[in-house]
Amino acid sequence: MTVIQWYPGHMNKAKNQIQARLKLVDIVLEIRDARLPQSSRNPLLDQIIGNKPKIIILNKSDLADPKITQQWQAYYHRRQQPIVVIDAQHQAHLPMILTAIQERLATKITKYQASGVKNYTIRAMCLGIPNVGKSTILNKLAGKKIAVTGNRPGVTKNQNWIHTSHYLDVLDTPGVLWPKIDDQEVAIKLALSGAIKDSLLSSLDLANFAWGFWVQYYPQILEARYHLSATELNPNLNLMFEKITATNEAAGDIDQQARQIVQAVRQGSWGRFTLDRVTAND
């Protein structure tokens, strides 16, 4: 996982690099974490890419709550925003990206075909915040391990095209944008999913948030894991420490317990989860 120290100068540099490369492509693949369909995006991205066609790829779907992923798919369908849900570790999921590109660029492709161009190439680039799986997706598209380099601030790279086995070329240099973390809740969600460094937030804050969230959305997991009855479960973690310390996995002082909770969430020991929710008004 890479964590970038993000300053306004860096942001501008990344923006300029991405904008320069945008001119080379027909379509943007915006990679997000399926556990955080909203928090793992940089809201500036749409401003940066303007009218360029875009497909959202919700990656790491194997870690997300499948019911909520379906709700997010419906949410973006309602907005006519193409979206693909994948687990990039599975090669078999990748054709879904190609299909979505074909659909999104159908008019362009039809034009090529009508004018007799047989060997047309569609060019794409991946964009996203750190750790969402950009390199993994590029490697899978390439069908081999390639040296993927993000546009780290201050580093100028030559870009190469990855020729996939189809009519699609993808830039081997993904655009990296820092997430918008001026909101404490977004920062906590990103830290719980491993997108930003632990040291940016206290484990206790993370554990408190996780506990409250699980009590609300996944209570059965906590009940089973910490041998609690439904009536014992309290959303306030401070009131629960004594009870959960009785289980092996959450022993030690409060800080230690908090760290264990965060680790358990990250490792998936608290099950699959989605921290961003579609609300009734969406």
Ligand X SMILES: Nc1nc2c(ncn2[C@@H]2O[C@H](COP(=O)(O)OP(=O)(O)OP(=O)(O)O)[C@@H](O)[C@H]2O)c(=O)[nH]1
The contact set with ligand X (CB under 6 A) reads 1-2, 59-60, 62-63, 87-89, 128, 130-136, 150, 176
Say how far residue 202 (Cα) sits from the centre of its chain: 22
How many Cα atoms within 13 Å fall on the side-chain side of residue 281?
0
Shortest spacing between CB 131 and ligand X, in angstroms: 5
Q: Cβ closer to ligand X: 108 or 180? A: 180
Q: Cβ closer to ligand X: 18 or 63? A: 63
| 139 carries a ligand binding annotation | no
Shortest spacing between CB 226 and ligand X, in angstroms: 25
Residue 40 burial by Cβ neighbours in a 10 Å radius (0-12, 13-18, 19+): buried
Shortest spacing between CB 224 and ligand X, in angstroms: 22
Residue 56's DSSP bridge partners are 30, 83
Q: Cβ closer to ligand X: 36 or 63? A: 63
| 62 carries a ligand binding annotation | yes
| 135 carries a ligand binding annotation | yes
Q: How many CB atoms lie within 10 A of CB 234?
A: 14
Shortest spacing between CB 8 and ligand X, in angstroms: 20
145-156 burial, b at 16+ Cβ within 10 Å, e below that, comes to eeebbbbebeee
Q: Cβ closer to ligand X: 63 or 237? A: 63
Q: Where are the alpha helices (DSSP H) in 23-124?
A: 44-49, 66-78, 95-104, 106-114
| 134 carries a ligand binding annotation | yes
Annotated binding site: 59-62, 131-136, 175
Binding residues for GTP are 59-62, 131-136, 175
